Structure 1
Amino acid sequence: MRIALEDLSVTLAGRRVVAGVHLVAEEGEIAGLVGPNGSGKSSLLRTVYRHLRPSAGRVLLDGRDLAGLRPAQSARHIAALPQERGGDFELSVREVVAMGRTPYKGAFAADDAEDRAVTAEALERVGLTAAADRRFARLSGGERQRALLARALAQQPDVLVLDEPTNHLDVRHQVELLALLRQQRRTTLVALHDLNAAASVCDRLHVLHEGALVASGAPREVLTAELLAEVFGVRAAVVEHPLTGDPLIAFDHRTPATAPATDPATAPVRQCGGVAL
């Protein structure tokens, strides 16, 4: 399914944190949101999985306004891994993952054979089969992250919405999670701090700065030294990754950027590669 945001704005405590954003994740595409802290990435994602209501604009699922769907309907199409991870559930890992089956069940309905099979497959995909009977509260931060991703996968959504999914993961599990996203070929909207990870896993990048969209397009076209200086305030060279051929950003950790600041509210959005929103 295709996710599109039309002129989306979000206001929190009287302050506009997302301003008139248009962006898209096409069916089967991984679309990344990147930008400095406070640029509006999490607020934007929260409108997609309906934790926040936009103050203006719409979120469209295959052309249908999400606001017109019942929560259970949208939960069958969209699953989220938010930054807010919830409390220390007094449940087993298997029980937490099985919560992803809730949109398909009636009130108080027990798990059936299909639920158990889907839960087991989700646990296997994130490498937690051996931990299925452990208490969720006793997991490490990285294990919890993988368990909550398994819960989202058990939901069998058309669209995944992930907010910093590699947080708390060691290098190996970061690589495995990003590879899993590529293998899924499921429509995915993901916020990432790691620009090299974004360049590797995403088909399309949307760059946010102070609540405004300032660039959209393929990673190779979006991630330029000029944009990195203007938006992130860093000096960097963009080269070819020697193993994958993806863009690889080499940061200068000794010298700050000197590019002049721009006002994201008035700067035109860079549509790289003729990408249509």
Structure 2
Amino acid sequence: MRIAVEDLDVALSGRTVVSGVRIVAEDGEIAGLVGPNGSGKSTVLRTVYRHLRPHAGRVLVGGTDIRALSPAESARQVAALPQERGSDFELSVREVVAMGRTPYKRAFAGEDRGDAGLVESALERVGMVGAGRRRFSALSGGERQRVLLARALAQDPRVLVLDEPTNHLDVRHQVELLALLREQRRTTLLALHDLNAAASVCDRLHVLHGGAVVASGTPREVLTADLLAEVFGVRAAVVEHPLTGDPLIAFDHRAPAALTPVS
């Protein structure tokens, strides 16, 4: 399902933090939001999954304004893994993942066989299939991250929205998560700090700076040495990854570039 953010303005505490943002992820495409801290990535994503209401603009899911949908219908279309993640759930891992089935259930309805299958499948896909009875609050940060991703997958949405999904994950589980996203080919909008991970997993990148989109295109089109200097304030060379052929950014940690404004 195609998702499009059109002319989005968001103000927080009377201050505009996102202005005129246009972002798109085509059906089955992984679109990444990258940019420095404070550039507006999380604000855009919070608007997509209805945590924030925009001052202007709209979010279209399959051509429908997401604000025109009921909360349950919206949750059936879009599942989110936000940065603000609960750590005090006094629930088992399986119970947390089963929460993803809530948008499909009537009040007080129990779990059916289809729900159980989706929950077990989601746990298996994130490598937590044997952890269903463990307390969520007793898990490590990386394990919690994987369980919350399983909850989003169990929701069986048309669109996934992920805010820094590789946070707290070790290298192996970062690689496995990114491979999972590519394998499922579900329309996905995600924010990443790791530019090399973004270059590897994303079909399209949108670069945010100062609350506005300053570049959009494929990773090869967007991730240039000039843009990295202007937006991120770093000196880097962009080369070909020897294993995958993706763009690979080699940063110069000895001589960072001077930060220059983006015109």
Give 1:4's aligned residue.
Answer: 4
Matched, 1:16 2:16: yes
Matched, 1:142 2:154: no
- Residue 255 of structure 1 aligns to a residue whose secondary structure is coil
Give 2:63's aligned residue.
Answer: 63
Q: CA deviation at 1:259?
A: 5.7
Structure 1 distance, partners of 2:5, 2:258, is 33
- The 5 A counterparts of 1:97-246 are 97-246=97-246
Structure 1 distance, partners of 2:169, 2:158, is 25
Structure 2 distance, partners of 1:184, 1:260, is 39
Q: CA deviation at 1:163?
A: 0.1
The residue type equivalent to 1:193 in the other structure is: H
The residue type equivalent to 2:66 in the other structure is: L
Give 2:91's aligned residue.
Answer: 91
Deviations 1:217-264 (A, max 9, x none): 0000100000000000000000000000000000000002036323xx
Structure 2 distance, partners of 1:75, 1:154, is 12
Alignment check: 8 A CA contact 2:18 2:43 kept: yes
Task: Structure 2: give runs of 5+ residues left out of the alignment.
Answer: none
Structure 2 distance, partners of 1:34, 1:258, is 19
Q: CA deviation at 1:88?
A: 1.3
- State the superposition RMSD in angstroms: 0.7
Structure 1 distance, partners of 2:125, 2:25, is 23
- Residue 238 of structure 1 aligns to a residue whose secondary structure is strand
The residue type equivalent to 1:72 in the other structure is: A
Alignment check: 8 A CA contact 2:231 2:260 kept: no
Structure 1 distance, partners of 2:144, 2:88, is 10
- The 5 A counterparts of 1:19-58 are 19-58=19-58
The residue type equivalent to 1:214 in the other structure is: V
The residue type equivalent to 2:67 in the other structure is: A
Q: CA deviation at 1:83?
A: 0.2
The residue type equivalent to 2:204 in the other structure is: R
Deviations 1:187-245 (A, max 9, x none): 00000000000000000000000101000000001000000000000000000000000
Aligned pairs, how many? 263
Alignment check: 8 A CA contact 2:66 2:74 kept: yes
Alignment check: 8 A CA contact 2:232 2:259 kept: no
Task: Structure 1: give runs of 5+ residues left out of the alignment.
Answer: 268-277
Q: CA deviation at 1:62?
A: 1.3
Alignment check: 8 A CA contact 2:98 2:151 kept: yes
* Runs of at least 4 residues off by over 6 Å: none
- State the TM-score, normalizing by the size of structure 2: 0.99
- Residue 193 of structure 1 aligns to a residue whose secondary structure is coil
Structure 1 distance, partners of 2:81, 2:117, is 21
Q: CA deviation at 1:87?
A: 3.5
